[in-house]
């Protein structure tokens, strides 16, 4: 029962979608185990998305991710990594399934409202990027 990292990106916060997104997470039976708001520095955004450094969209992505506050969440519950990815939908909202967050709310491939870790290893490092051990609710 691994935890995963979720982010409500600057577009989601700006458009006041925080409540709606958390509602979907909880309605899916997943659990918010950690939550905070912050604004990424350029250095933090570059480091968080370092895996995409060589991509043509990297610079714009860093610009976007630092454009306003974000909400970072530790999401737990059975199958949280896969299930949060499912709730988010495909990266490109045009390809995302109906009833996914990106299909419903995203305005472009870049401005796609949410982030989710893509596997157990990234979940671990991405959670540690934002949360100390004692900021995460223990599993029951
Ligand atoms: P993911 O967020 O679905 O895991 P990744 O491929 O890891 O997608 O890309 C990270 C983020 O970079 C995406 O969520 C999106 O904001 C942005 N991004 C990915 N591909 C493109 C693109 O082709 N154009 C512009 N932005 C992109
Ligand atoms: Mg990714």
User: What's the CA gap between 13 and 88, in Å, rounded?
Assistant: 15
Per the domain annotation, does 22 fall within a domain?
Answer: yes
- 4 and 131 Cβ atoms separated by less than 8 Å: no
102 lines ligand 1 (CB under 6 A): no
Angle at CA 130, nearest 5°, toward 126 and 136? 95
Domain tally, the chain: 1
* Closest ligand by atom to 115 CA: 1
pLDDT of residue 1: 73
Per the domain annotation, does 137 fall within a domain?
Answer: no
Percentage of residues in the chain having pLDDT higher than 90: 98
Residue recorded with tokens 């399934």: 97
Here the CATH number for the domain that contains residue 12 is 3.30.70.141
Q: Which burial class, exposed, middle or buried, applies to 106 when counting CB atoms under 10 A from its CB (0-12, 13-18, 19+)?
A: buried
Which residue has a Cα nearest atom 6 of ligand 1?
91
pLDDT of residue 140: 76
| 1-44 pLDDT per residue, tens | 799 999 999 999 999 999 999 999 999 999 999 999 999 999 99
Which residue has a Cα nearest atom 26 of ligand 1?
110
Per the domain annotation, does 126 fall within a domain?
Answer: yes
Per the domain annotation, does 105 fall within a domain?
Answer: yes
Tell me the residue range of the domain where 90 lies. Answer: 4-131
Per the domain annotation, does 122 fall within a domain?
Answer: yes
Per the domain annotation, does 136 fall within a domain?
Answer: no
What 3-state DSSP class applies to 13? helix
CA of 139 to the centre of ligand 2 (A): 25
Active site residues: 115
The conformation of residue 54, written as its DSSP 8-state character, comes to T
Per the domain annotation, does 138 fall within a domain?
Answer: no
The conformation of residue 72, written as its DSSP 8-state character, comes to E
117 lines ligand 1 (CB under 6 A): no
| 85-99 pLDDT per residue, tens | 999 999 999 999 999
pLDDT of residue 43: 98
109 lines ligand 1 (CB under 6 A): yes
Torsion of CA 110, 115, 116, 117, to 10 degrees: 80
pTM of the predicted model, to two decimals? Answer: 0.98
């Amino acid at each position: 029962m691994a935890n995963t990292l979720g982010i409500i990106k600057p577009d989601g916060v700006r458009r006041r979608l925080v409540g709606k997104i958390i509602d979907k997470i909880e309605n899916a039976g997943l659990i918010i185990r950690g939550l905070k708001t912050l604004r990424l520095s350029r250095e933090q955004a570059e480091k968080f998305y370092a895996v995409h450094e060589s991509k043509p969209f990297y610079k714009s992505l860093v610009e976007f991710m630092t454009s306003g506050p974000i909400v970072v969440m530790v999401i737990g519950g059975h199958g949280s990594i896969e299930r949060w990815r499912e709730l988010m939908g495909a990266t490109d909202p045009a390809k995302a399934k109906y009833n996914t967050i990106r299909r419903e709310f995203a305005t472009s491939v870049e401005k796609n409202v949410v982030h989710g870790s893509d596997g157990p290893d990234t979940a671990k490092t991405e959670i540690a990027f934002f949360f100390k051990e004692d900021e995460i609710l223990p599993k029951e």
